[in-house]
A and B are shown apart, each in its own frame.
Chain A
């Protein structure tokens, strides 16, 4: 039994490392979500109003929407290359549980999209005059929320990987499921600014993450089987 557990752990580590190596060799995929995040946030003051007070009010929602959209944008590439070169077939033919492989792939993906966004967010928040009290709320809510976005997005990516133009369909499938994360995430930042207790928001974001962690890899695995089978 313990032998089996080490082989699961090995599978997770190998897949995780492989995906990181792949991402660093295809630089564009690594940088795209970050650039998108940056562009959306910088365009707002130019397009709407550079007024500090107005921007500070807008900042929580804007940062969260931008983070959500750039995660969504990066989801399409999660399984695409593996589907095109046949690695996905090999992955499905593995006697090892698909759950672990999917979880490893999503974790690697999150590290390079969600975590990177979380780390860049404070810089952009300063640019949007977000009050300093809001920073911990912003960072923590993104840290808890973006993995959920990646996990849910993976289901959409798996369902559409076999289609020639799946990008728009992913958005349609996944956006409704993103709404709760967006609501609780941006509310947490608002609450942090006004000095209200944050525990409730983080508990809800954490609960969503736990739910996604347990169920999304299963759904993603099933969706991959359907996509490859077609």
Chain B
């Protein structure tokens, strides 16, 4: 049984005099991966930021489990993990310190699982190093470690596999499948091909239109 988790109706977003999307409808059901496709600059990140509630530069309606987003914002945020373009990892803090703070911010993250998550993303042995001493891929792994600790229903991931090696990508795909089987959903953007066995639905964003270009 799949039920509707997140939906958007007639989204319109304009940026720097270009229409990124217009009349965009989108539905995400439980147990589903939605991949947003499009060229660079087609508005993928902007769409994810709108869906996560970070950006309010848009017109249209968002619904969470059938209710208007504005009224259930808090419940929505409690059920959301968003990993954006910037990993949200402070360079001066170690992996564990970073994750601890995230746990304080998001009650849906399980603080008991920090150690497990660090092991799962392959950062064992790097716990005591400040993040700025780690490689770009390792920093992203700190951000992704949150997925192992989360009980949230919806994951919004913006280019989650940037700088992640092949073994890491395979592990994340397995993690996503597990998440889906528990009734979760994922919205992501990626330029890498996902494995064929992943139940991915794609949404393509067209080229941005110049205003007055009709």
Q: Report the nearest B residue to A81, measured CB to CB.
A: B90
> Are the CB atoms of A18 and B107 closer together than 8 Å?
no
Residues of chain A within 8 A (CB-CB) of B74 are 95
**Best-buried of B54, B75, B90, B102 by chain A (most CB within 10 Å):** B90
Chain B interface, DSSP helix/strand/loop, else mixed = loop
Contact B104 A14 (CB under 8 A): yes
A96–B78 CA distance with the chains assembled, in angstroms: 9
A22–B93 CA distance with the chains assembled, in angstroms: 7
Could you tell me the distance between the alpha carbons of A220 and B122 in the complex, rounded to whole angstroms?
38
Residues of B within 8 A of A81 (CB): 90, 92
Interface pair B101/A86, CB less than 8 Å apart:
no
Complex interface: chain A residues within 8 A of B78 (CB)? 95
**Within 8 Å CB of A228, what residues of B?**
54
* Minimum CB–CB distance for B167 against chain A, Å: 25
Contacts of A26 in B (CB 8 A): 92
Q: Shortest Cβ distance from A134 into chain B, in angstroms? A: 40
Please tell me if A43 contacts chain B, counting CB pairs below 8 Å: no
Q: How far is the CA of A89 from the CA of B55 in the complex (A)?
A: 10
Interface residues of B in 20-73 (CB under 8 A from A): 52-57
Determine if B92 and A89 form an interchain contact, defined as CB atoms under 8 angstroms apart. Answer: no
Q: Contacts of B55 on A, CB cut-off 8 Å?
A: 229
A21 within 8 A of B: yes
Within 8 Å CB of B100, what residues of A? 14
Residues of A within 8 A of B53 (CB): 93
Let me know if A87 is at the binding interface, CB within 8 A: yes
Task: Evaluate contact between B54 and A93: CB separation under 8 angstroms.
Answer: yes
Residues A95 and B86 in contact in the complex (CB < 8 Å), given A11-B105, A18-B97: no
Q: State which size class the interface on A falls in.
A: 20 to 34
**A28 at interface by CB-CB < 8 Å:** no
CA separation between A230 and B57, bound complex, in Å?
8
Q: Which of B100-133 contact A (CB under 8 A)?
A: 100-102, 104-107, 130
Closest A residue by C-beta to B76 = A95
What residues of chain B lie closer than 8 Å to A229, measured between beta carbons? 54-57
Task: List A contacts of B85 (CB < 8 A).
Answer: 86
Confirm or deny: B88 has a beta carbon within 8 angstroms of a beta carbon on chain A. Answer: yes
Which chain B residues border A95 with CB–CB below 8 Å? Answer: 74-75, 77-78, 106-107
Inter-chain contact B104/A11, CB cutoff 8 Å: yes
Instruction: Tell me if A21 and B56 are in contact (CB < 8 A).
Output: no
User: Nearest B residue to A25 by beta-carbon distance?
Assistant: B92
How far apart sit A203 and B117, CA to CA, in the bound complex (Å)? 52
**Contact, CB under 8 Å: B93 / A93:** no
Check B101–A93 contact: CB distance below 8 A: no
A96 and B53 CA atoms in complex are apart in Å by: 15
A selection of 30 A-B contacts at a CB cut-off of 8 Å is A7-B107, A11-B104, A14-B101, A15-B101, A15-B104, A18-B93, A25-B92, A26-B92, A81-B92, A85-B91, A86-B84, A87-B88, A87-B101, A89-B84, A89-B88, A90-B88, A90-B105, A93-B54, A93-B80, A93-B82, A93-B105, A94-B77, A94-B105, A94-B106, A95-B74, A95-B78, A96-B105, A96-B106, A225-B56, A229-B57
Other than the given A86-B85, A95-B106, 4 more pairs (CB < 8 A) read A81-B90, A93-B77, A95-B107, A225-B56
A residues with a Cβ closer than 8 A to B are 7, 10-11, 14-15, 18, 21-22, 25-26, 81-82, 84-87, 89-96, 101, 225, 228-230
